[in-house]
Amino acid sequence: MEFVVAALFGVLFGNYATTYYHRIPLRKPINGLSKKKGQVPHCSVCGHSLKFYEYFPVLSWIFTRGKCNYCGVKIDPVYAILEISTMFFAILLYIARGIDLLFPSCLLLICSLNLLFALYYKHSKFYRQVVVVSILLAVIIFWQLHYEFT
């Protein structure tokens, strides 16, 4: 059962990373679920708001054969790759450590590094906010490890 929980955490963290992957280069606000503060998840070409079941890139990408349901434009496969790879790393992290208090921090770091790699792959650029978050997460993990073993 914990194996499934770890995989679900990976998919959810990876799904959240896809939001950053799309919005950081465009300098759009990340808080997209509030229409007052941001924009709900949408097709980047036609602007059509996605339905809840379309929020999950892996499932959505498979069911729509990699295209938008509304305008037919090809969806960037990196969305699905981010989600799948984060799930894979979450499973590996579970195998290595199990689910403990350090699991969410480690998974966030893995997710941010995964995002950093994806953004660099797409734009050949490191985005400061992702680098800073990755460094802060690494410091938090080292701090947690230090106090876990002393």
Structure tokens given for 34: 């509030």
Q: Over the stretch 38-62, which tens digit does the pLDDT of each residue have?
A: 667 778 788 888 777 777 767 777 8
Least confident of 13-22, 54-63, 85-94, 99-108: 54-63
List 74's β-bridge partners, or say none: 67
Q: Over the stretch 104-126, which tens digit does the pLDDT of each residue have?
A: 999 999 999 999 999 999 999 99
In the predicted structure, residue 150 carries a pLDDT above the cut 70: no
Q: What is the pLDDT of residue 70?
A: 85
Query: What gap in Å lies between CA 72 and CA 15, rounded to an integer?
Result: 21
Query: What gap in Å lies between CA 127 and CA 115, rounded to an integer?
Result: 10
Distance of CA 120 to the CA centre of its chain: 15
Torsion of CA 121, 138, 130, 74, to 10 degrees: 40
